Amino acid sequence: MHFSRNAQDLVPRSARSMIASAVRAIFEQPDEAAAHEQLGHIAESLGARFPAVARLLLDAEPDLLAHFTFPETHRRQIRSTNPLERLNKEIKRRTAVVGIFPSRASVIRLVGMILAEQDDEWQDGRRYFRPETMTAIDAVVEGKEASPALLMAS
């Protein structure tokens, strides 16, 4: 969403819906190869009319498509920043009640408690990732090295 907004800011208002659709088309691809191909095609087609958007797409390609290195069942959650934004909103809500903290340690205690509560919720309550799908992250595809994104996740 944030990338799409950044790309839309580089074009006139009349072309913003077209840019948003083009970015969505990249994310809706079934696999990493198709996404890279779609991104290249879109960057090439936009290059003449909107070179800044084409350059932004090509520069951000590794970051935009990083979620494709994860199992398909996880991609939707990974590519979205909604859970992170919701967690930040909760931290802001809970710290606003206190107002002024007496020390840095008290802030760390409160925010740490909020993060621990969220971790418990994701582990025991409404799981963000099912445990059986997490095993796919640990599996190394035969003939390939594990990607850096998968190594960091394990």
Region 12-20: what's the mean pLDDT?
89
| Alpha-helical runs (H) found in 71-103 | 72-79, 82-98
In the chain, the percentage of residues whose pLDDT exceeds 70 is 80
Of 68-72, 98-102, 131-135, the one with minimum mean pLDDT is 131-135
Distance CA 154, CA 100 (A): 38
pLDDT band of 99, cuts 50, 70, 90: confident
Averaged pLDDT for residues 145-152: 49
Lowest mean pLDDT among 67-71, 82-86, 87-91, 95-99: 67-71
Q: If pLDDT is split at 50, 70 and 90, which confidence band does 110 have?
A: very high
Q: What share of the chain has pLDDT > 90, as a percent?
A: 29
**pLDDT, mean over the chain:** 81
**Whether the predicted pLDDT of 102 surpasses 50:** yes
Q: Quote the CA–CA distance of 53 and 143 in Å, as a whole number.
A: 36
Model pTM?
0.60
Whole-Å CA distances, 119 to 27, 68, 71, 123, 143:
28, 24, 21, 6, 34
**What phi-psi label fits residue 70: left (phi over 0), alpha (psi between -120 and 50 degrees) or beta?**
beta
pLDDT confidence tier of residue 63, bands split at 50, 70 and 90: confident
Q: For 73-91, how does the pLDDT look when each residue is reduced to its tens digit (9 = 90+)? A: 777 777 777 788 889 999 9
Q: How far apart are CA 128 and CA 131, in angstroms?
A: 9
Residue type, 89: K
